[in-house]
Chain A
């Protein structure tokens, strides 16, 4: 019996990789070009772990940004503090957000409608355009504030990790470190927070704490982080980052 079983199992094991590779190749060809969804993820979940930095035509994007300027400002600095500043933001982050609005994974009364007709090229161009704009000038943040301490060092006793680990020590986004050949984390999908409005930051952190942000692998990280923060922490962080 065992003499028969061994070659059978070998044959099965040998045949499997070919069949599986074919199925995988077919599946990958059908997914969104930039993001690789998790194998068993639902439609509302976006796996960003393999998201490569995107490229777009900033100049073309400038020509498509007229409507955006109504809220986000002609130079990407929002006209009101409830809107995020887009100037100098990571292009990949902006693209992912637009794509989520476009695909219905993220919903907003205004943005869902605005993103719906955009093509993939439009979204890349718009993202490249806003990323190319000069960010909002720096302010004067209190380096000794509680917000600064949380951002830079976290609070290990309460399980709060330092925000700078991903968002960069100056909140201008992460710095890419050598990984010795191992795959990089999707650094480009992580937003820059420097100079973002406090009202917007409080709302976003609140969304994470309440679990109402759309599902992506980055959201899962932030939900865990935000669950360690209380209201005072959120206010302190928002005040610090908005003044940076």
Chain B
């Protein structure tokens, strides 16, 4: 075997230290594992150095073959030509090592520059690839690897024998930068316990102290690394029986921005003039990411002459190694009645994602029928289960709350900070799904076919949890653990037959689920030799559980036309119309899960509880809807070597809702010109544009009625929801994408150029029936009916030059220039400070303007 000594050293190092290879696996091309694409920032396609266009084309038998049947261009097939191919017995082999140096410059930490690539200054492995093929037996082994950094790399091994079996294994690390501009005030970032630094007093810091701590906090990059490993095997078991098995594991490790308590927000802000600030307790924290998901797929299929059989088991097992996030609150939290608390609100806690087990077994059987027909039957059963130990409602010590005359709102923490305060120790959550699908297809004539499909799906949520504390005999939970909600009268989250008899809190989980039945009828005609028409009718009968409607019916009709009768062009056009309606709309189907349904509930002040929401509210997935979709795709060959393609599309949704989502629209165009005059040259120009809009309406409640008579009136136009408090907003977005690519092999030198531009502009307008729609009506004169525009723009230019030095050594020089700008009004003001009264934020947001460069040189060595 003729290999370069360096290749042996690298291979040995990988096998010895690495362990990655030993555990790796992948179902590329089959979708059984999920990793379809291997690439990185250096080479998004993966294996580009191996992709030498083959002048000899696709087939030794067929000329041309460079277009799809509809006229789009195939790229020239890639060849191993140019690489020395060794021979040893029946085996041929090849190898390529590409090593080099990369140097990022300019605003190299800009979030959008390094969002999915861990650019670092230093050596990089562009590609290490080896392949072995046995043309006599059809056996093959192929290895590929690339490394930018320890957090951005991939290695893949494939082996098998054509027509018999295939083994795939992989290891890869993929970075995802969340923010490069984060300034968290806490210590312990990345862990489960966020503590305040020296200088801040938990539950008792001044605003100035928190501002100072924020200003002094070091800039951090938040992000995570996805590490995927897996192995899959597929092969013929016996005659027509093929089996496969795969297992993959994905670990996610890192940090991300995490909200935090949101109570109180600005509407109830009171400027007390105190150095400790006023109301509220809003914190943007940082949470750890420490997940793993293991997927197992087992399959067995048989493709016989008459019967086809397919069985598939899918298992997915999610594990979160960190089940909670504890944080310290820096602010002095007050109740709103002006008396001192029994103790400071010091600690808060979040429960993080629970472990989850998912199993699904699907069986499919199909049989050929007369008249070129086919009957297909499918049945599946799935179950999702969670049974983590539940965390207690709070993690405080001492006593929360206050005592003032008749207001005796004292909460002994030891009755709420232990699992004994829960109705059960483990979640016992479970959702089961069932699917049955029967489809029959017939081709009674060569130019006509029809099909009928009946599909039934049921999602049964068996989770039942009652928020009941057996230590106190109370229902509900302590709301806003670590924030102001836990100490404000009426907001504590507890219900009982005594002091908290007027609390409106959720006391049980709502077992959402649905049962869906879909009937589809379709027919297709070939009209002449160049046109075909198809018509599909669908009736969808949905029965949601514990939702605003118990029945939703939607009828859809889709008409499609495919034509090749317009010269050389291929035209695809479709039009679809859907009309959804249903049973009576109940604006409050959740009463049974709230304390208002409990015996002993007494409305505060002797009043009935306020309406759950306005009766005119229609949630977008439950409302009547008329939907129209149209799409036209045109592919037109220009001469022998180029193709123009264009797509026009538009979607319109109209919702029958006075309150809620009313209207969505999207209209778009994509166009592309591809040119491939020969294997040495290719170029493309592409352009895309899309506009979308979303219109919704709502009505603000009249705060003066919330605590008065009439508060239980849900009518739109009633005292609680007066017409003058009605408002609309219109969210419009325009997105553009354009680019040019060009590559040419001059013989001694290959040049490749690419430019890509992306822009997004969003605008939010609103209008009000009157200033009464505002929380602060007095602010109305300051408003102009729109929020500041948000925009995102990015321009990336790539250039590369490749040339050989000797027969087996080549050089590739490349560079990238990326510039962009970003503006989002949510981040406005954060350049001054991240602390506003009782609100501390962590992320200053992406860089407003940036320019980053990347240069690199790679040495390619054919092994």
Residues of chain A touching chain B, judged by Cβ–Cβ distance below 8 Å, are 1-2, 5-6, 9-10, 12-13, 16-17, 20-21, 24, 38-41, 47, 49-50, 159, 166, 180, 182-186, 217-218, 220-221, 227
Contact = CB atoms under 8 A, between A and B. Distances in A.
B116 to A, nearest CB: 22
A158 to B, nearest CB: 10
27 contacts: A1-B797, A1-B817, A2-B755, A2-B757, A5-B755, A5-B797, A6-B738, A6-B740, A9-B742, A9-B755, A10-B740, A13-B675, A13-B683, A13-B740, A16-B675, A17-B639, A20-B678, A38-B55, A49-B57, A50-B63, A159-B138, A183-B62, A183-B63, A217-B56, A218-B60, A220-B60, A227-B135
A41 B63 CA distance: 15
Given A2-B795, A39-B55, A185 B63 contact: yes
A163 B629 CA distance: 50
B797 A2 contact: yes
Interface string B154-183: 000000001100000000000000000000
Contact of B677 (A2, A5, A17): A17
Nearest to B138: A159
B61 interface: yes
B494 to A, nearest CB: 60
Contacts of A2: 755, 757, 795, 797
B677 A20 contact: yes
A30 to B, nearest CB: 16
A10 B64 CA distance: 27
Contacts of B489: none
Contact of A13 (B138, B679, B685, B757): B685
A229 to B, nearest CB: 12
A39 B679 contact: yes
A111 B677 CA distance: 38
Given A13-B742, A17-B677, A49-B60, A227 B795 contact: no
A186 B59 CA distance: 12
A218 B757 CA distance: 46
Contacts of B63: 49-50, 183-186
A16 B677 contact: yes
A9 B135 contact: no
Interface string B53-94: 001110111111100010000000000000000000000000
Nearest to A5: B755
A211 B678 CA distance: 28
Contact of B683 (A16, A186, A221): A16
A183 B55 contact: no
Pairs of residues from A and B, 10 with the lowest C-beta to C-beta distance, nearest first: A49-B63, A40-B55, A39-B55, A9-B740, A220-B60, A20-B677, A217-B60, A50-B63, A183-B63, A221-B60
A198 B420 CA distance: 92
Given A2-B795, A38-B55, A49 B62 contact: yes
Contacts, number: 84
B484 interface: no
B755 A183 contact: no
A16 B681 contact: yes
B742 to A, nearest CB: 6
A217 B62 CA distance: 10
A9 B740 CA distance: 7
B642 interface: yes
B641 interface: yes
Interface string B291-331: 00000000000000000000000000000000000000000
B635 to A, nearest CB: 14
B136 interface: yes
Nearest to A13: B683
A41 B685 contact: no
B694 to A, nearest CB: 31
Nearest to A49: B63
A49 B56 CA distance: 10
A5 to B, nearest CB: 6
Nearest to A36: B63
Interface residues of B, number: 35
B753 interface: yes
Contacts of A9: 685, 740, 742, 753, 755
Given A10-B685, A50-B63, 16 more contacts: A2-B755, A5-B755, A9-B753, A9-B755, A16-B681, A20-B677, A21-B677, A39-B679, A40-B55, A40-B679, A49-B60, A159-B138, A159-B162, A166-B61, A220-B60, A227-B136
B225 to A, nearest CB: 32
Contacts of A184: 63
A207 B631 CA distance: 56
Nearest to A19: B677
Contact of B62 (A1, A10, A41, A185): A185
Interface centre among B63, B678, B685, B817 (most CB of A within 10 A): B63
A41 B59 CA distance: 15
Given A9-B753, A185-B61, A221-B61, A39 B678 contact: yes
Contacts of B753: 9
Contacts of A39: 55, 678-679
A180 B71 CA distance: 13
B726 to A, nearest CB: 45
A39 B64 CA distance: 12
A159 B163 contact: yes
A152 to B, nearest CB: 19
Contacts of A218: 60
A21 B642 CA distance: 12
Contacts of B56: 38, 40-41, 47, 217
B361 to A, nearest CB: 33
A6 B683 contact: no
A220 B795 CA distance: 46
Interface string B666-693: 0000000001011101010100000000
Contacts of B69: 180, 182
B396 to A, nearest CB: 56
A182 B71 CA distance: 10
Nearest to B796: A2
Contacts of B795: 2
B755 A6 contact: yes
Contacts of A182: 64, 69
A154 to B, nearest CB: 13
A12 B795 CA distance: 20
Contacts of B136: 227
Contacts of A183: 62-65
**Which has the most chain A C-beta neighbours within 10 Å: B61, B757, B817?**
B61
A150 B685 CA distance: 50
